[in-house]
A and B are shown apart, each in its own frame.
Chain A
């Protein structure tokens, strides 16, 4: 038993080392703040909310229920679910991008707060768990479109705020940056 457990632990450690050392980094952004790189990490999927909002319209829902034949309505619902699933996946990408941006800010800051970093880690863990649960709910057909709409608006709000802040830092305040490093 000891032999088996120790071998498993050894293999797990070796795989983890290989992944940590040679796996492609999750944060592809170059570690500097310039406006074009910031654009790469800012969320984009939540900007398509108006189109999705149309898709989620309750009027359409009622219309299809009343007027369309049953098989057509089923197909319509399945298609709507597929698009929502893709959209939810896009929202996750947006959240991940925001996470990367948060990491970028931390990496480039001479002082960071321990409590703040732990909170971001905890929030990210919560988000990813909730996302999985939502995706499951969507697959089971019990996710309300209104809920998704609220989520989208929130990410969009965060994006616009960050965009403004980061653009200010990157483009208009170069004199406030410094090139020395501590250590």
Chain B
């Protein structure tokens, strides 16, 4: 392989942290709550093995390495999209009404941004690296957007987020946000060799994200909260119009005073 000693050490540390995250996830039975995230962590570890074999056999600068690397990236970013949806579902699904309102918005936003990423990437056929960067940026943007929208719902309705979920979400959001910025820089000045700092940023942000996941899983997961006691189906229909009427009157009056 064409790695320097520093790069080899950094890679070894990355693999070590990923394995630790995977071991902790399995030990704390995370797959019962976040199955897709557990699968994602497994894929990360497998990915390192596949890349190591590919780089060893064909060299890091080969076409084969390029395609293997970006195929694995595409798989990972797609699963990250599913994982952020899974996190939103884990937090909001006990509140049936809010989840029914939020779910179509999350799915719709995800589909629009994924479609837009594909459409943007198809416009730039050459060079191939520019196409992959555009596609990756769009998909990472989708991950961040789904996460932020889901969290805005949690904040608006005052739904509490478990600590471990917050750290997992922070890791995903942080990495994807850095990649969006990173891909923007790279697609603007597409000469990676002249800007090695961006590749370092990619690696560093991934290491930081995995440390966030390590923090999330370091302690055993909290016990599941009992299901909230929901109101009878008709109560919302009875209470909401009264509140709306009053709030509307209140606003009208407030506007009158102001004017």
| Interface residues of A, Cβ cutoff 8 Å to B | 2-3, 6-7, 9-10, 13-14, 16-18, 20-23, 25-29, 31-33, 95, 98, 100, 102-114, 116-117, 119-121, 123-124, 126-127, 130-131, 133-134, 137, 143-144, 147-148, 150-151, 154-155, 157-158, 161-162, 165, 169, 173, 176-183
With a cutoff of 8 Å between Cβ atoms, the chain A residues found around residue B13 in the complex are: none
Whether A10 and B178, one on each chain, are in contact in the complex, defined by CB atoms closer than 8 angstroms, is: yes
Q: Which residue of B lies closest to A161 (CB)?
A: B242
On chain B, the residues within 8 Å of A22 by CB distance are 166
Fill in one digit per residue for B216-259: 1 if any A CB lies within 8 Å of its CB, else 0: 00000000000111111101111110111011111101111110
Majority SS at the chain A contact face: helix
State A112–B153 Cα separation when bound (angstroms). Answer: 14
For A148, the chain B residues whose CB sits under 8 A away are: 257
Contacts of A173 in B (CB 8 A): 232
Given contacts A116-B244, A151-B253, contact A21 B97 (CB under 8 A): no
Residues of chain A lying within 8 A (CB to CB) of residue B98: 106-107, 112
**CB-CB < 8 A to B240: which residues of A?**
102, 105, 112-113, 116
* B residues with CB within 8 A of A: 89, 93-101, 144, 147-148, 151-152, 154-161, 166, 169-170, 173-174, 177-178, 180-181, 184-185, 188, 227-233, 235-240, 242-244, 246-251, 253-258
Q: Which residue of A3, A147, A169, A183 is within 8 Å of B231 (Cβ)?
A: A169
Report the 9 A-B pairs with minimum CB-CB distance, sorted nearest first. A27-B158, A147-B257, A182-B96, A112-B97, A109-B236, A183-B93, A20-B151, A158-B246, A10-B181
A-B contact pairs, 20 of them (CB 8 A): A10-B181, A14-B173, A21-B166, A27-B158, A31-B95, A32-B229, A100-B158, A106-B97, A107-B97, A111-B233, A112-B97, A130-B254, A130-B258, A134-B258, A155-B250, A165-B242, A177-B230, A178-B232, A180-B227, A183-B89
* Residues on A with beta carbons closer than 8 Å to the beta carbon of B229: 32-33, 108, 177-179
A131 and B239 CA atoms in complex are apart in Å by 25
Q: Which residues of B contact A29 (CB under 8 A)?
A: 158
B174 touches A105 (CB 8 A): no
